[in-house]
Chains A and B, each alone.
Chain A
Amino acid sequence: MKRKSISLILSMITALSVFVLLSAPLVNAQEEERYFFEFHIMCIEGFEAHRMMAEMVQNECGKIGIKVTIDMVDFSIFMDRMYAGGKTGELSDENGWDTWLCQFGDASELDPDNMGTLFHSKNEHPAGWNCEHWFNGKFDELMDEAAVLTDIEARKPYYKEAMEILADELPSTTICYLKDPWVMRSNVMGFDGVLGCYGLGAYTWDLEDEEGGTVKYAQPGSLPSLVMEFAGAGTTGRAVGHTVWEALMDYDNKYNPVGELAESWTVSEDSLTWTFKLYENVLWHDGEPFTADDIVCTYDAAMDPETVFSSHSDFKELVDSYRAVDDYTFELTLTKPSAAAWSKIFTQTILPKHILDDVPHGDWKSHDLNTKLAIGTGPYKMVDWKPQEYVEIAVNEDYYRGQAPLDHVFFVNIPDAATALAALEKGDVDILDTYYSLGKEVPQIETNPDLKYVLRINPGAVHFMFQLSHPVLNNKWVRKAISSCIPRQQIVDDILAGLGDVCTSYIHPLTWAYDPDISVPMYDLDQAKIYMEMAGFEYEWLEPPPTTPMSAYLLPAVGGLVAGIVVGAIVMSLLKRTS
């Protein structure tokens, strides 16, 4: 029994010695994996390009000593963690987020004033969408001062300085713009990639060698409601918005404000009172004349929270009073001068007073005008809406700015991209929406003489947002270092297959406020390391210590082995003698 115990002890000593010997390389390897800190990138599950971008950032950050974990989460979880993270905590470990990578906004970047949505301190969540908790008094001041100016040239220096602050402080960095293809039959003419986004393009669509004719436009989402200002009307813009409905003002294809129902307008010297001269020969699609009273009726609804227009809070903040001066003159006074009033107030869909005047505002959302048949003033009249199938619009022959070239347009609902492409190839539909994300199909489309495509630079950039509550990411040098780790050109070339542009600014390059001289830190790993050192991280620490030589492990292991054998032999001989 005693011998068995001794044998066991000897075996254990031998095993331990062997373990020490074998584990030496592992210990060394572990020592090599040193990093300064770790953070998470949150992306939306299903957006394969975003995942690949995050992996590139992960790889590059690893080279400067930052460990990155990628969290691919469901869209709903993404939204919950992004906007409601504060309920449980701000950071990733607390069910919030450290950083997120996502394409943000669409029309939101058309006016530079909208930078405030994400970065102005008055918009700190939950009051607004500043969820990264970045505050800068100077930035707020500049945004507020620029917001009350109406002259573009006067606004430019304010936004330039604001962008410089953003580029220096870097509460978020930008990665790229995507170029989405609108794929269409070769005979479709007059398609504008910018206007198409807002449905405005339908007015200029035409078919080659054909008088009138019908165009079928396929889109993956079905129309939830007809009036854009009601919740969930995201795809309405491309179907009935601007084709059937109209507003006082709108965008042109350079994202500049232009008149729609307003023929001209003047602004008072204090920039508070806007007076619109309306087109006089406008008819609603049911034949009733359009007058300034229709605008008053619609704006009354927008001012009333019961209507639940998504534009209500903008109206509440910016609109002081308004009135119909006469049938074709409308006057509105703002609470404060606002350059963004045109995008926030004057793009409100105008609805017919003669139909809605007696309807309580709370019932507007369930009214036939929103759920069955839109009656607007636009270049097309709505004819039919079969949910999940199509919306049919027909040319408005009495349109005050001249008749549109086509007779009919169908906005067809095809959920699957492959089916939509097959339908296009067969000629069952004429145009495919950008929502199908057919970038990868471009080489195939190029070989088909019956098809062509128009690239549209998406106004929304892919952003990389930092959570400023993070103990390390709150250092701007760290954020700059991470920004310098994003291989933007490689992302555009390899992930987007060239269908994108490197994005250097918070402002879209097509808009007037864009300044090519202001840029976020671009890819440069050497510079990234300099930023990290400026943040207080020392690369000497990151260098793995000299690898412990094998001899250092060999000596105690062999020594232990020999000692075990010697001690065992002595004990055994003593036992033998005593027995």
Chain B
Amino acid sequence: MGGLRDYIIRRIMSSIPTLFGISILTFTIIHLAPGGPLRFSLALQGDIPVEYLLEIERRLGLDKPIWMQYVIWLKNILTGNLGTSYIKEVPVINLISLYSWNTIKLMFSAQVLALIIAVPLGIISAIKQDSIVDNVSRFVSLFGVSLPTFWTGLMLIFLISVKLDLLPVFGSHTIGAIYSSPIEAFLDQASHMVLPVTVLAFSSAALITRLVRSSMLEVLRQDYIMTARAKGLRENIVVYKHALRNALLPVVTVTGMSMGFLLAGATVTETVFAWPGLGRFVVQCTFNRDYPAIMAITMIVALMVVLSNLITDLTYGFLDPRIRYE
């Protein structure tokens, strides 16, 4: 147990230089990007006086050298201050907490849905290799991996929402709706989640299905599986107790690493479905060159990826008792 604790502390400590490096890299890149917060927010308004631009620049501290701006940002973030959004003029932390819940809802639901579909499908495909189920699942997962998220989203909107009129087109709830009961409100919100979650889960599920299948096929060919079968164990026990546990190791890796990919997918999905979430907020901040907001979100996502990788590594130990944390 002490080994595990030391391991966790060591991993957390080792992630500090990583986060530090990410912060320098992100800060440099966003400042190297052409234009600035003022160019974007003001340019389309027409003849904004130059002195006005200079005044705003001075207030935001953008007239200082870039290294000084970084030091100020670092000092603030170490004291828990993520800064104030240039565009919205409110603390970034308020904006992140406003949008992140919707994105977490979307990402979590999509990941759960993807696992619920992909793991059984991958197992069946592997057990019944080259059967109709296997061929169909391979075909569909190939589509899932290949099709761009925005295209899948738009096609589903057109087919399910417009033509069949089964689900709403956009948003997280019906705008202007008055609910008579909490159940009605829940059902309305759930119906708005179906399409974006399906789209987000589709590509993720496709990847995991293929991974589970190939991993299972490899494990099922191992000597110990043959031994288990030779011992006369029932096929279900061979597959689910002996094979699946080992086959899940790469799936856990991919699931852990997919945090970043899911957020990237959420950005597109949220844009297509007008879902009010962090992904769209990131896009908006990037277009507006809202430096404090971009930095804060990048650091939070980086932290999430670091933590999810740590959880992944810890899960290995649970799945494979041979793994020791030293």
Which A residues are closer than 8 A to B by beta carbons?
74-77, 79-80, 105-108, 114, 117, 125-129, 214, 216, 222, 224-225, 231-234, 305, 308, 310, 312-314, 365-366, 370-371, 386-390, 392, 408, 410, 412-416, 418-420, 422-423, 425-426, 428
Q: Could you tell me how many residues of chain B have their Cβ less than 8 Å away from some Cβ of chain A?
A: 54
**B300 beta carbon closer than 8 Å to chain A:** no
Q: B2-10, B82-90, B311-319: which one contacts chain A?
A: B82-90
A135 to B95 Cα, complex, angstroms: 47
Q: Which residue of A lies closest to B43 (CB)?
A: A79
Determine whether the beta carbon of A232 is less than 8 Å from that of B169. no
Determine whether the beta carbon of B42 is less than 8 Å from that of A232. yes
Q: Which residue of A lies closest to B41 (CB)?
A: A232
**What string of 1s and 0s marks CB contacts (under 8 Å) between B142-185 and chain A?**
00000000100010011001100100111110011000000000
A530 to B287 Cα, complex, angstroms: 46
A216 to B169 Cα, complex, angstroms: 14
Determine whether the beta carbon of B88 is less than 8 Å from that of A422. no
Determine whether the beta carbon of B33 is less than 8 Å from that of A76. yes
Extra contacts, 16 of them, besides A231-B48, A422-B161 (Cβ < 8 A), are A74-B34, A79-B35, A216-B175, A222-B284, A224-B41, A233-B45, A308-B59, A371-B88, A388-B277, A388-B280, A415-B280, A419-B169, A419-B170, A422-B154, A422-B158, A423-B169
Our pick among B36, B42, B50, B274 for the contact of A414 (Cβ within 8 Å) is B274
Our pick among A387, A408, A416 for the contact of B176 (Cβ within 8 Å) is A408
A418 to B36 Cα, complex, angstroms: 29
Given contacts A76-B33, A386-B276, A392 and B176 within 8 Å (CB-CB): yes
**B272 beta carbon closer than 8 Å to chain A:** yes
Q: Which residue of A lies closest to B102 (CB)?
A: A388
**B46 beta carbon closer than 8 Å to chain A:** yes
Our pick among A233, A310, A312, A419 for the contact of B157 (Cβ within 8 Å) is A419
A380 to B162 Cα, complex, angstroms: 32
Determine whether the beta carbon of A428 is less than 8 Å from that of B41. no
Determine whether the beta carbon of B50 is less than 8 Å from that of A126. yes
Determine whether the beta carbon of A313 is less than 8 Å from that of B49. yes
Given contacts A310-B52, A412-B175, A419-B274, A107 and B162 within 8 Å (CB-CB): no
Determine whether the beta carbon of B34 is less than 8 Å from that of A76. yes
Our pick among B38, B154, B172 for the contact of A419 (Cβ within 8 Å) is B154
A80 to B39 Cα, complex, angstroms: 8
A-B contact pairs, 25 of them (CB 8 A): A76-B35, A108-B47, A117-B46, A128-B47, A224-B88, A231-B87, A234-B45, A305-B55, A310-B45, A313-B52, A314-B49, A388-B280, A389-B171, A389-B276, A413-B274, A416-B271, A418-B157, A419-B169, A419-B273, A422-B158, A423-B169, A423-B170, A426-B162, A426-B169, A428-B168
**B281 beta carbon closer than 8 Å to chain A:** yes
A222 to B176 Cα, complex, angstroms: 18
Determine whether the beta carbon of A128 is less than 8 Å from that of B34. no
A414 to B272 Cα, complex, angstroms: 8
Our pick among A107, A408, A412, A419 for the contact of B272 (Cβ within 8 Å) is A419
| Complex contacts, A224 vs chain B, CB 8 Å | 41, 87-88, 288
In the complex, the 6 A-B pairs of residues with the closest C-beta atoms, listed nearest first:
A76-B35, A232-B41, A313-B49, A388-B276, A76-B34, A414-B274
**B56 beta carbon closer than 8 Å to chain A:** yes
Determine whether the beta carbon of A387 is less than 8 Å from that of B98. yes
**B99 beta carbon closer than 8 Å to chain A:** yes
| Complex contacts, B52 vs chain A, CB 8 Å | 308, 310, 312-313
Q: Which residue of B lies closest to A230 (CB)?
A: B89
Q: Quote the shortest CB–CB distance from A76 to chain B (angstroms).
A: 3
A177 to B211 Cα, complex, angstroms: 55
A258 to B47 Cα, complex, angstroms: 23
| Complex contacts, B170 vs chain A, CB 8 Å | 414, 419-420, 423, 428
| Complex contacts, A314 vs chain B, CB 8 Å | 49
Central interface residue in B35, B38, B56, by most chain A CB within 10 Å:
B35
Given contacts A232-B288, A308-B52, A426-B165, A105 and B271 within 8 Å (CB-CB): no
Q: Quote the shortest CB–CB distance from B100 to chain A (angstroms).
A: 12
* B7-56 interface (Cβ within 8 A of A): 33-36, 38-52, 55-56
Given contacts A76-B39, A222-B284, A428-B168, A410 and B175 within 8 Å (CB-CB): yes
Determine whether the beta carbon of A105 is less than 8 Å from that of B41. no
| Complex contacts, B280 vs chain A, CB 8 Å | 388, 415
Q: Quote the shortest CB–CB distance from A270 to chain B (angstroms).
A: 27
Determine whether the beta carbon of B55 is less than 8 Å from that of A308. yes
Determine whether the beta carbon of B176 is less than 8 Å from that of A214. yes
Q: Which residue of B lies closest to A82 (CB)?
A: B43
Determine whether the beta carbon of A231 is less than 8 Å from that of B38. yes
Determine whether the beta carbon of A79 is less than 8 Å from that of B169. no
Given contacts A80-B35, A127-B50, A371 and B90 within 8 Å (CB-CB): yes
Determine whether the beta carbon of A107 is less than 8 Å from that of B46. yes
| Complex contacts, B41 vs chain A, CB 8 Å | 224, 231-232
| Complex contacts, A425 vs chain B, CB 8 Å | 162
Q: Quote the shortest CB–CB distance from B92 to chain A (angstroms).
A: 13
Determine whether the beta carbon of B51 is less than 8 Å from that of A313. yes
Determine whether the beta carbon of A117 is less than 8 Å from that of B281. no
A371 to B176 Cα, complex, angstroms: 21
Work out how many contacts link A and B, with CB atoms closer than 8 A.
146
Determine whether the beta carbon of B162 is less than 8 Å from that of A422. yes
Q: Which residue of A lies closest to B39 (CB)?
A: A79
Our pick among B49, B89, B276, B288 for the contact of A365 (Cβ within 8 Å) is B89
| Complex contacts, B150 vs chain A, CB 8 Å | 416
Determine whether the beta carbon of A366 is less than 8 Å from that of B284. no
Q: Which residue of B lies closest to A309 (CB)?
A: B52
Determine whether the beta carbon of B89 is less than 8 Å from that of A366. yes
Q: Quote the shortest CB–CB distance from B13 to chain A (angstroms).
A: 37
A414 to B169 Cα, complex, angstroms: 10
Determine whether the beta carbon of B46 is less than 8 Å from that of A366. no
Determine whether the beta carbon of B55 is less than 8 Å from that of A415. no
Q: Quote the shortest CB–CB distance from A384 to chain B (angstroms).
A: 10
Determine whether the beta carbon of B56 is less than 8 Å from that of A422. no
A392 to B174 Cα, complex, angstroms: 13
Q: Quote the shortest CB–CB distance from A458 to chain B (angstroms).
A: 13
Determine whether the beta carbon of B56 is less than 8 Å from that of A308. yes
Given contacts A216-B176, A312-B52, A415-B271, A108 and B88 within 8 Å (CB-CB): no
Q: Quote the shortest CB–CB distance from B175 to chain A (angstroms).
A: 5
Q: Quote the shortest CB–CB distance from A343 to chain B (angstroms).
A: 11
A414 to B171 Cα, complex, angstroms: 8
| Complex contacts, B50 vs chain A, CB 8 Å | 125-128
Given contacts A216-B176, A389-B276, A419-B274, A80 and B99 within 8 Å (CB-CB): no
| Complex contacts, A414 vs chain B, CB 8 Å | 170, 274
Given contacts A388-B99, A416-B274, A129 and B47 within 8 Å (CB-CB): yes
Q: Quote the shortest CB–CB distance from B106 to chain A (angstroms).
A: 13
A310 to B35 Cα, complex, angstroms: 20
Determine whether the beta carbon of A105 is less than 8 Å from that of B98. no
A94 to B226 Cα, complex, angstroms: 72
Q: Quote the shortest CB–CB distance from B177 to chain A (angstroms).
A: 11
| Complex contacts, B55 vs chain A, CB 8 Å | 305, 308
| Complex contacts, B165 vs chain A, CB 8 Å | 426
Q: Quote the shortest CB–CB distance from A477 to chain B (angstroms).
A: 30
Given contacts A222-B284, A414-B274, A428-B169, A117 and B176 within 8 Å (CB-CB): no
A365 to B41 Cα, complex, angstroms: 15
Q: Quote the shortest CB–CB distance from A418 to chain B (angstroms).
A: 5
Determine whether the beta carbon of A426 is less than 8 Å from that of B161. yes
| Complex contacts, B176 vs chain A, CB 8 Å | 214, 216, 392, 408, 410
Determine whether the beta carbon of B175 is less than 8 Å from that of A390. yes
Q: Quote the shortest CB–CB distance from B62 to chain A (angstroms).
A: 13
| Complex contacts, B89 vs chain A, CB 8 Å | 225, 365-366, 370-371
* B263-289 interface (Cβ within 8 A of A): 271-274, 276-277, 280-281, 284, 288-289
A234 to B288 Cα, complex, angstroms: 12
| Complex contacts, A422 vs chain B, CB 8 Å | 154, 157-158, 161-162, 169
**What string of 1s and 0s marks CB contacts (under 8 Å) between B202-242 and chain A?**
00000000000000000000000000000000000000000
Q: Quote the shortest CB–CB distance from A117 to chain B (angstroms).
A: 5
Q: Quote the shortest CB–CB distance from B196 to chain A (angstroms).
A: 11
